[in-house]
Amino acid sequence: MEQAAGFAALGVDPRILKALDEMGFEESSPIQEAAIPILLEGKDLIGQAQTGTGKTAAFAIPLLQRLEPGVRGPQVLVLAPTRELALQVADEFGKIGKHLDVKELAVYGGQPIDRQIRALRAGVSVVIGTPGRVLDHLERRTLKLDHVRAFVLDEADEMLSMGFIEDIEQVMEHLPPERQTVCFSATMPEAIRRIIERYAKAPERVSIGNRGIAAPPAIEQAYFEIRDKDKVEALTRIVDHEAISRAIIFCRTKRECDELASALQARGYLAEAIHGDLNQVQRNRVLARFKEGQVELLIATDVAARGLDVENVTHVINYDIAQSPESHVHRIGRTGRIGREGTAFTLVRPREFHHLKLIERVTRAQIRRRSVPTATDVAERALDLLGERIGAMIADGAGQGPKYIDLAGRLLEEHDPERLVAALVAAMSEGRGAAGTESRRAAEETRQGPDFADTGAEPGYVRLFMNIGARHQVTPADFVRTIASRADISGSLIGAIDIYDDFTFVEVPKEVGRAVLDAMEHASIQGRGVHAEPARPGH
């Protein structure tokens, strides 16, 4: 557990370290480093920190660790201002306490109280609730606080603004005098300060403020409202519509990085993940492929992306919203470098809008709303891009050879010009292209058994010759995408790609060499038929 070292140094129980590793935590945040040792000692604490700084784990980790085994009633009570926050905090307690013998329960209005009463009677260790519903249970005597060892006020200033101050005081009157009192608040209004001074005992104070760092002005920012189940589909539509060729996509955990990379690869995208579980050799290889264009979408955690210095990153996409404004600015700073413009997109679930507005306010940036492109939007954009590519090819003199001119003349005599151009555009957009007699001859040679004896490749690989090169406006990504999709292999298996003016050498593992040759038999790249064969010493 490489990431666990930071938390282990704080004195965190190995069972909790295991859960944190499974959750994908890669390092402790400043509020966690400040608060956890204090709370593990049983001291009272006042923490001033914004939402999204990791404060829930900052109190959940030590309070779970200090639970007494064998106690049936609640030992931790957390008050939260809203149902949504109560559910989020309960979910965090459940994940962090996964390997401990504890049960957590969220109690809030809007849910049948009978269900909550049954759960409380069955026994829970941690109760997280809104003030009104907690008071309701106290009045019904369905919640008893005799064994509470720690009481937490989460987002205290929000509860004050919502008029819960009297409810909070009533709840605190039911608590045993010997307990730990914890308060977290983004600001510290006088009314909250009075309550803490009245009920807490010599509390330690920690403050983790946002540094007010500004987002780079050259970066255009936008957000897309999505639902969890639509995230991958929304991401792919955005990538296709924006014609993104080099982007870093941020996920919260290592597991999410791997899952997203696999989902994108299955859809034909050149995507790879980079995170703390990769050793240095693996990390270097992924970064090299990204810099060379063999990987278009780099899926990363915040920690893994530190120190990355890759030019021409056109987009940063927050697949998961950043935990803090500072982290957001660090992420989007991976694009728009050296005076260039960049674009940063953030996928936002409805319950994250409050946090998005916090990021916008602290970074003094405008993050405008955009709609996720429809399938029709994506198709129309693809045709626009194809038209631009054809225009660029004409400007570069493509197709000016005598044989092309002669064929064009014959076709124009036989067909209506508009329909002819439309048919050619359709062929290019669908990836069709005549392989020619040369490719058919290569296919026949492949069926007889290709000669991979001496192709000049690294051990374990074969070097393939392909008759298309730089003057045909191809990139390494074009070769990786075509080979991976047609041969049904992972793009990560493809080795060195050397592009010359009129041809290209591609290295693939020896065991898939024939499959690649077979797959490329009728392939086309940039609308041009490709002939592939094993490289010869004279190539």
Residues 358-410: tens digit of each pLDDT: 888 888 888 999 999 888 888 788 777 777 777 777 777 766 777 778 887 88
Provide the Cα torsion 190, 192, 193, 199; round to 10°: 150
pLDDT, residue 510, reads 86
Residue 406 CA to residue 496 CA, distance in Å, equals 37
- Asked if residues 501 and 471 have their Cβ atoms less than 8 Å apart, the reply is yes
Q: Do domains 4-208 and 219-373 have the same CATH topology?
A: yes
- Domain positions in the chain: 4-208, 219-373, 377-426, 436-534
pLDDT tier for residue 52 given thresholds of 50, 70 and 90: low
Query: Mean pLDDT throughout 216-234?
Result: 88
pLDDT, residue 316, reads 95
CB atoms near residue 90 (< 10 Å): 23
CATH classification of 4-208, choosing from 1.10.3230.20, 1.10.3300.10, 1.10.30.50, 3.40.50.300? 3.40.50.300
According to CATH, the superfamily of the domain at 219-373 is P-loop containing nucleotide triphosphate hydrolases (3.40.50.300)
Give residues with Cβ within 8 angstroms of 389, minimum separation 6: 473, 526
The pTM assigned to this predicted structure is 0.54
Mean pLDDT of the chain: 84
Residue 22 CA to residue 493 CA, distance in Å, equals 28
pLDDT, residue 429, reads 58
369 beta partners: 223
Class of domain 436-534: alpha beta
The DSSP secondary-structure symbol of 438 reads: H
DSSP run (H or E) holding 227: none
From the number of C-beta atoms within 10 Å of its C-beta (0-12, 13-18, 19+), residue 346 rates as: buried
Helices (H) and strands (E) in the chain, counts: 22, 20
Sequence letter at residue 52: G
Closest CA to 104 of 125, 123, 130, 84: 125
pLDDT tier for residue 162 given thresholds of 50, 70 and 90: confident
